[in-house]
């Protein structure tokens, strides 16, 4: 399917007849992600996914819809969420598409450094399911679903901390994309978050591929290769294994964005 055909195929959802051009790069959590090497097959895959998400919004027949994107660290959840938002800007949607990340609901480092689990500060396990303010996340998603104006936080990879009140969701008709590892986890309060999702996507990925992506991210964030490798073994690798057990709860499973071929 050609990019122009995608816009035509979703006119039934009330979109204007516009051609959607696949971006060459994206700004994702303060990092520039190069998409210029994507093949036609990869581009068409995500253009079709965008069309499907518009269909999901229409099928729910309500003003506020929440779609979750789950999967292991490094699988491309943030990239897909931002990519869908970029496509929405071009498509002439009859509703707003907004995206948030659960990373924005990490407890701040000041909290993680002073609260412990198993005798270790939570900071050493940052990214694990118990290092997030799950109650706050569930509260905000519920307020959004009920139609209220919600001030969502973002996460700064420069500060390595959440930044409050960074995204304002106020439009009556809005599709909210929420991305994060633990959206389909059924313990420690995450089951309440999962219950607020109207639809869930799981991005599947080979562990070795995600390891390379995660190590690169940690090094970009200031860790040495040795520090990044140790953190992966202690935290990210273990998270990967647990997150994969949540895959059966997704409505749709897709391959990682770099592995569509």
Mean of pLDDT values over 27-36: 88
pLDDT grade, residue 5 (50/70/90)? Answer: very low
**Do the beta carbons of residue 169 and residue 114 sit within 8 Å?**
no
Q: Which of 203, 210, 206, 181 shows the shortest CA–CA distance to 251?
A: 203
Cβ proximity of 256 and 147 under 8 Å: no
Q: How confident is the model at residue 44 (pLDDT cuts 50, 70, 90)?
A: very high
**pLDDT > 90 in the chain, percent:** 75
pLDDT reported for residue 29: 82
Q: What pLDDT does 105 receive?
A: 98
- For residue 202, which of 244, 143, 150, 140 has the smallest C-alpha distance? 244
Give the tens place of pLDDT for each residue, 157-208.
889 999 999 999 999 999 999 999 999 999 999 999 999 999 999 999 988 8
Does the pLDDT at position 257 exceed 80? no
**β-pairing, 31-34 with 25-28?**
antiparallel
Write the pLDDT tens digit of every residue in 240-249. 999 999 999 9
What confidence score (pLDDT) does residue 209 get? 82
Q: How confident is the model at residue 121 (pLDDT cuts 50, 70, 90)?
A: very high
Distance CA 117, CA 133 (A): 15
User: Alpha-carbon distance 39 to 258, whole Å?
Assistant: 10
Q: What is the mean pLDDT of residues 49-56?
A: 96
Identify the band that residue 258 occupies on the pLDDT scale cut at 50, 70 and 90: low
Average pLDDT of 34-42? 91
Number of Cβ atoms within 10 Å of the Cβ of 179: 26
At how many degrees (to 10) do helices 77-91 and 40-60 cross?
A: 70
d(C-alpha 248, C-alpha 202), whole Å: 9
Indicate the domain borders of the chain.
66-79+93-255
Instruction: Give the fold, CATH level 3, of 66-79+93-255.
Output: Rossmann fold (3.40.50)
212 or 129, higher pLDDT:
129
- Structure confidence at residue 6 as a pLDDT band (50, 70, 90): very low
pTM of the predicted model as reported, rounded to 2 decimal places: 0.90
Picking from 88-92, 141-145, 217-221, 255-259, which range would have the lowest pLDDT averaged per residue? 255-259
């Amino acid at each position: 399917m050609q990019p122009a055909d995608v816009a035509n195929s979703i006119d039934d959802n009330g979109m204007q007849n516009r051609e959607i051009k696949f971006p060459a790069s994206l700004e994702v959590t303060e990092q520039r992600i190069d998409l210029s090497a994507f093949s036609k097959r990869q581009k068409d895959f995500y253009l079709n996914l965008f069309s499907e998400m518009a269909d999901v919004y229409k099928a729910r027949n309500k003003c506020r819809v929440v779609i979750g994107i789950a999967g292991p660290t490094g699988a491309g959840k943030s990239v897909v969420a931002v990519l869908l938002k970029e496509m929405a800007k071009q498509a002439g949607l009859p509703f707003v598409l907004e995206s948030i990340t659960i990373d924005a609901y990490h407890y701040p480092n000041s909290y993680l450094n002073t609260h412990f689990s198993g005798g270790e500060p939570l900071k050493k396990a940052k990214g694990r399911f118990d290092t997030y303010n799950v109650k706050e996340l569930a509260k905000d998603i519920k307020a959004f679903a009920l139609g209220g104006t919600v001030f969502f936080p973002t996460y700064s990879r420069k500060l390595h901390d959440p930044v409050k009140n960074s995204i304002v969701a106020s439009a009556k008709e809005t599709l909210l994309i929420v991305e994060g590892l633990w959206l389909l986890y059924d313990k420690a309060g995450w089951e309440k978050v999962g219950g607020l999702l109207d639809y869930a996507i799981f991005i599947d990925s080979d562990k070795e591929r995600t390891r390379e992506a995660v190590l690169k991210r940690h090094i970009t964030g200031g860790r040495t290769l040795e520090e990044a490798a140790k953190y992966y073994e202690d935290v990210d690798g273990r998270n990967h294994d647990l997150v994969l057990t949540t895959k059966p709860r997704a409505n749709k499973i897709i391959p990682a964005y770099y592995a569509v071929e």
